[in-house]
Structure 1
Amino acid sequence: RFYMNENIFPNIDILFLNEKDLIKCGVKNMKNCIDVMEKHFSLIGNGDYRMGGANGNEHGLKMSFPESSPIKNFPLNGPDYRFMAMPAYLGGEFHTCGIKTYGSHQTNRLKGLPRSVLMLQLLDAETGAPYAYMSANLISSMRTGAVPGLGIRYLSIKEPKIATIVGPGVMGRTAALAIATEKPSVTTIKIKGRSEKGINEFIDFCKEYCPTFKDFVVCDSIESAAKDSDIIYFGTTNAAKYEDNPFLKDEWIKSGALVISTSALLMNHEGWKDTKKFKLVSDDYKMYVGWGKGKPAPTQKNVSTLIGMAFYDAVVEGIVKESDLVEIGDIVNNKKQARDSDEQIIVYAVGGMPTEDVAWGRFCYDSAIKNNIGTKLNLWNSPEWS
């Protein structure tokens, strides 16, 4: 099943896929990506996966840099400056390991680069032998939109009309693509962004890829963007100051709305006490517990502005019970109910899991093998030392 000789020892070949190869493989097909994420979260719900760390639920290992150093030319901290290694195993039909790596720095954009440059390596789950190495920017962008898309598939009201995008960057674009894919009933998109250029680029993207969107409304506040919207998506990067991150008040949220956050979002935890009014759905609550374990609440301010960390804080503070939280995998597997009523507001936490990259990367790899796409690289015919 892997791109190796039948007898994988001692010869090992690796399939290299660049970004153009991945486009030929269908990496930009949002419908397929959401379908793969559905299979992925079914496996997550059944425990057929593993990520890093002792608890098997770590997002990844981050290397960052100090504010100052006496060493000449030593890298110093900057906005979004970090390196990440994100290992994962995903079972079922995928049955493979993978490691996504990336380097990130806001100044990359001044050099004509994306903020983050990503790669994905796929490994045989038993031997650890690599069988694929591929560009991962599009893989990561698409799965980041498809996980909200899966939430829209299961958690949104049946016929939403208005959707909001707060943060119309790459994450916002793929979220918009997911909305258009899952809910063609959405014809109005409300946008809250930081720059006119970014907003215009987002609208141009939607006009090209999301023809069901007919009206675009640019908003100057979170309140005006959120009001009357059936789907509210947050995809903004962290602000320099915690207090400057987007804050969504309960009274701005329409009954029956679905609130999705893949990044920075602050909300009033107290409102979640009313479980008839609010339902909290997580991609992988154990990941947030791992980040917050051993730290006094509120941890969100000190650890992450992800809404999943707010879920954890709400549990630690006794505002909600852990049993009140619902995992999207349990909904996919019909173990838990999606929404209790058309009036219930659902808050969906998306933190990002390397298992998602493994799933979508494996799909693209299988497409490459089927269609003879990519470049074969020989690791060795036989190892020099073994």
Structure 2
Amino acid sequence: MSLTDNPVQDSGTTPVRSARAGAADGATASTRIDFLYLSEPDMIRAGVTDMPACVDAMEEMFALLHHGDYRMAGANNNSHGAIVMFPDESPFPDMPKSTVDRRFMAMPAYLGGSFRTAGMKWYGSNIENRDKGLPRSILTFVLNDADTGAPLAFMSANLLSAYRTGAVPGVGARHLARKDSRVVGILGPGVMARTSLSAFMAVCPRIDTVKVMGRGKANLDAFIGWVGETFPQITVQTVDTAEAVVRDSDIVTFCASVATGDPSIYPTVRREWVRPGTFLSMPAPCNIDEGMEGDDIRKVLDNTGLYESYLEELPAPAHRFVPAVGVRFLDLVAEGRLDKATLEDLGGIVAGDTPGRRNDEEIIILSVGGMAVEDVAWGTIVYRNALRDGIGVKLNLWDAPALR
């Protein structure tokens, strides 16, 4: 769909003129607010699946995080967001009951720099959606002008979220993987595996082999078919164990979803499996053995404040509730088994204040927690692309507000 008669006043940043505009010369300021609606096909046309550009956007975002030019939810401005959960039993017959991944989640953030926008991802999730032919989570995103608070766009966000999630491992690989990396080991052949591999290919173009482990033949076949179509130069090998995923891989990523509550069932990395020079990127549930706790393993967090927020909000050990390996790192710090000073931050590495990979022998593990600022960064760029290319449907909030 095309965008017509768009009242853009600010080089693609805001579609509404500030109420203060024109006040100095006596002109009457417009109070009209229009915003863009971007469906999933609109988002694709506006470039949401452009993984190299998404990796670049995430890299810019991480530098802003390092310098503090952002805000997320919570008293410490680093919270993942606010969540609505449901009980196992309820006296209200129409209230949803607790199942795996049944929740509603709001993830707001502000991001400065060249973005200077705010936004919120909102989604509902239910594992039973798959029986209805729907994604487990159904996501939308609203982007707002940071000055007036006016909406700029309302977007379909499943692809937005998937690509920004995969792009973060790509940023990690750009700085922390060996440049000659060829073999990628993947546990869990779902959407996150596809976007992570796309990001790895964007920054490590010598990759020629993927080893993948999955629980079901349908998912494995779909992943193998996608790789064949998207990266025909890659050879895909199916393996049956997490050990086979990790051994002899240059890049390893765990992308499988599992039930939370018992870290002993989370996919685990064992030190004896990991060869020198491996980069491990973990955007999904992950645990580590004692050997991986050692000082010879570089441990990197995508945002230290995010994990500190988890520890403030949740009872110990927090890894029971949030299965990211970075939460396990902070639990180990709380238990006195790990020195917090040994933990590194990806933002500091991107900004150049902390070195990236120092040699070909280092083993580095990155925890990817997922943050609302990522949605704001990529959502802002896709929105500006849509404005530039006339994509989307312009909707009117009001010509003048009824209440002021």
Equivalent residue for 1:357, pick from 375, 389, 397: 375
Tell me the equivalent position of 2:25.
none
Structure 1 unmatched ranges of 5 or more? none
Equivalent residue for 1:228, pick from 234, 239, 248: 248
2:344 is the alignment partner of 1:326: yes
CA deviation map 1:269-328 (0-9, x unaligned): 454232xx2101111111111111376653312x21111101101222233322211111
Equivalent residues of 1:80, 1:105 under 8 A apart = yes
Q: Supply the RMSD in Å over aligned alpha carbons.
A: 1.4
Code of the aligned partner of 1:316: A
2:257 is the alignment partner of 1:237: yes
CA deviation map 1:171-193 (0-9, x unaligned): 11111111222112111100011
TM-score scaled to structure 2, two decimals? 0.92
Tell me the equivalent position of 1:217.
237
Q: C-alpha separation between the residues in 2 aligned to 1:4 and 1:221?
A: 52
Code of the aligned partner of 1:222: A
Equivalent residues of 1:151, 1:348 under 8 A apart = yes
Q: C-alpha separation between the residues in 2 aligned to 1:330 and 1:207?
A: 36
1:125, distance to aligned residue in structure 2 (A): 1.0
Tell me the equivalent position of 2:392.
374
Equivalent residues of 1:59, 1:352 under 8 A apart = yes
Q: Residues 110 and 374 (structure 1 numbering): CA distance in 2 closer, same or farther, change over 3 Å?
A: same
Which sits farther off after the overlay, 184-193 or 2-11? 2-11
Tell me the equivalent position of 1:34.
55
Tell me the equivalent position of 2:26.
none
Query: Aligned residue pairs: how many?
Result: 382
Equivalent residues of 1:176, 1:210 under 8 A apart = no
Q: Residues 346 and 240 (structure 1 numbering): CA distance in 2 closer, same or farther, change over 3 Å?
A: closer
Which sits farther off after the overlay, 281-290 or 3-12? 3-12
1:244, distance to aligned residue in structure 2 (A): 2.1
Equivalent residues of 1:272, 1:279 under 8 A apart = no
Q: Residues 295 and 14 (structure 1 numbering): CA distance in 2 closer, same or farther, change over 3 Å?
A: closer
> Within 5 Å, which residues of 2 pair with 1:200-211?
200-211=221-232
Q: C-alpha separation between the residues in 2 aligned to 1:163 and 1:180?
A: 10
> Within 5 Å, which residues of 2 pair with 1:156-175?
156-175=177-196
Which sits farther off after the overlay, 177-186 or 363-372? 177-186
Q: C-alpha separation between the residues in 1 aligned to 2:173 and 2:220?
A: 23
TM-score scaled to structure 1, two decimals? 0.96
Code of the aligned partner of 2:311: G
Tell me the equivalent position of 2:69.
48
Q: Residues 91 and 111 (structure 1 numbering): CA distance in 2 closer, same or farther, change over 3 Å?
A: same
Equivalent residue of 2:131, what SS?
helix
2:319 is the alignment partner of 1:300: yes
Q: C-alpha separation between the residues in 2 aligned to 1:193 and 1:136?
A: 26
Q: C-alpha separation between the residues in 2 aligned to 1:146 and 1:238?
A: 22
Q: C-alpha separation between the residues in 1 aligned to 2:111 and 2:148?
A: 15
Equivalent residue of 2:86, what SS?
coil
CA deviation map 1:66-90 (0-9, x unaligned): 0001112211101110100000000
1:238, distance to aligned residue in structure 2 (A): 2.2
CA deviation map 1:182-211 (0-9, x unaligned): 112111100011101101111111112223
Q: Percent identity?
A: 41
Code of the aligned partner of 1:345: I
1:33, distance to aligned residue in structure 2 (A): 0.4
